[in-house]
Amino acid sequence: MALFLYKALQLNGTIAEGRIEAGGRQDAFRQIESRGLRPISLSESAAAQSEKKSVPMELPWKSTKVSSRMLENFTRLLSSLLAAGVPLSRALVILHKEATAPAAKEKWKEVHDLVVDGMSLADAMGRSPDTFPRVYVAMVHAGETGGFLDVVLDQIADFQAREKELRAKVMTALLYPVILLVLALGVLVYLMVFFIPKFQVLFSGFGAALPLITQIIVGTSEVMRSYGMYVAVGLGCAAYLVRNWVVSERGKRAWERAILRLPVIGALNAQFAMARFCRMLGTLLGAGVPLINGLNVARKSIGNQILVDAVSNSIERVKQGDSLGPSLGDCRDLFAGSVLEMISVAEESGRLDQELVRIANVTEGDLDRQLKTAVALAEPLMLFFIAGFIGTIFIGMVIPIFTIQDYIK
């Protein structure tokens, strides 16, 4: 049992304050209402909160964050419960009781308490941006406003599953090239720090001048051995400063603009953003969300602020009465001409939601094939460069040996 402090409105219009013991907030509200009072506010007493704070700390290696899988399960189950006619507050209680992870259990209870206090579900979720992304909250708000929250939640769960699958494909495709790059750097550092110095002892007694390539390799090895720690610290500080700059508003825009201008990565990044935008907008329109509201929500899913700004200008044109297809024509970095034509035709035929989802499916399939092709090309290129670096070092160290033989003759 917990002790709660409450303020409530009496029948004569005066405000009453008091304390009550209950098994939870919902039980406390029922007890207050049974006394003929209308609750205004309800908070747990400081004594109960201090008892909670005195609970031993959790082990540091236990995660205190709600994972994406937990959030997807929560979204799908909440959609099923609401579709079955279960009231929202009761559905949240059920999900809170069934949660096994402490982080999820605490978060679902927090959302439930805020909803019971009279806050909308979207606003309650908006209090926890680390758990519920802005796009998630915006979709929930649209579902609550339109009265089809269960449908929107089901669409969110499907969207989360598809996005996670696409991200997993990207990470899997990049895993092998990253491993090759790390191994190459490790081999290069070993050669420069441990292998080259053994040859320096041999070359020190050689009176003739070393070839230029050998001098460069030996000089680089000396710098790495003498100032390697300073270089590493300097690179770490530079990385920290660059990270802070990228997080800032100005730096983020400059970084995202530079990414879009890269030859291959920029096109893949734009395709990924377009797929997310089309799937999100098609999902919202299919759930009954008005076009303007759907565009405002879907633009938040793009991720790249430069592209978000371009879509925002298109939304303004749609608000003025223009069609969606021509309005999105300003976003040439995001939408190709063929995609704009398909959107225009679908808008005229009234099948815009289905066509947007189909475009997203086709784009994701094309993106998957491009990633596989890029990785297939990157692997031999990286192996070629690794062999080139190691071969250059080997040749640079062997040439003086032949020079020594000629000198002896």
Show pLDDT as tens, one digit a residue, over the chain (409 residues). 677 787 776 776 567 788 888 766 667 777 777 877 766 666 776 554 544 444 444 444 444 678 878 888 888 888 888 888 888 888 888 888 888 888 888 888 888 888 888 888 888 888 888 888 877 887 788 778 777 788 778 877 777 777 777 677 777 777 777 887 888 788 888 878 887 777 766 666 655 567 788 778 888 888 888 887 888 898 889 988 988 888 787 887 788 778 778 877 777 778 888 887 888 788 778 777 788 877 887 777 676 677 777 778 778 888 888 888 888 877 777 777 888 888 888 888 888 888 888 888 888 888 878 877 877 777 788 778 878 877 887 787 777 766 665 555 5
Task: Tell me whether residue 111 is exposed, middle or buried, using C-beta atoms within 10 angstroms of its C-beta: 0 to 12, 13 to 18, 19 or more.
Answer: buried
For residue 369, the model assigns a pLDDT of 83
Beta-sheet strand order (sheet of 2-9) = 15-22, 2-9, 38-44
For residue 64, the model assigns a pLDDT of 61
Q: List the chain domain ranges.
A: 2-49, 68-132, 158-409
Domain 158-409: CATH class, spelled out = mainly alpha
Task: Tell me whether residue 132 is exposed, middle or buried, using C-beta atoms within 10 angstroms of its C-beta: 0 to 12, 13 to 18, 19 or more.
Answer: buried
| Global confidence as pTM | 0.60
Nearest C-alpha neighbor of 291 from the set 332, 322, 329, 334:
322
For residue 295, the model assigns a pLDDT of 82
Distance CA(273)–CA(344), nearest Å, equals 20
For residue 78, the model assigns a pLDDT of 87
For residue 361, the model assigns a pLDDT of 85
To the nearest 10°, report the CA torsion of 159, 161, 166, 167. Answer: 110
CA-angle at 63, arms to 61 and 64, nearest 5°: 125
Please state, in angstroms and as integers, the Cα–Cα distance from residue 269 to each residue in 188, 265, 273, 275, following that order.
Answer: 31, 6, 6, 10
Query: How many residues make up the chain in this entry?
Result: 409
Nearest C-alpha neighbor of 390 from the set 187, 225, 176, 178:
187
CATH code of the domain occupying 2-49: 3.10.20
For residue 237, the model assigns a pLDDT of 93
For residue 57, the model assigns a pLDDT of 45
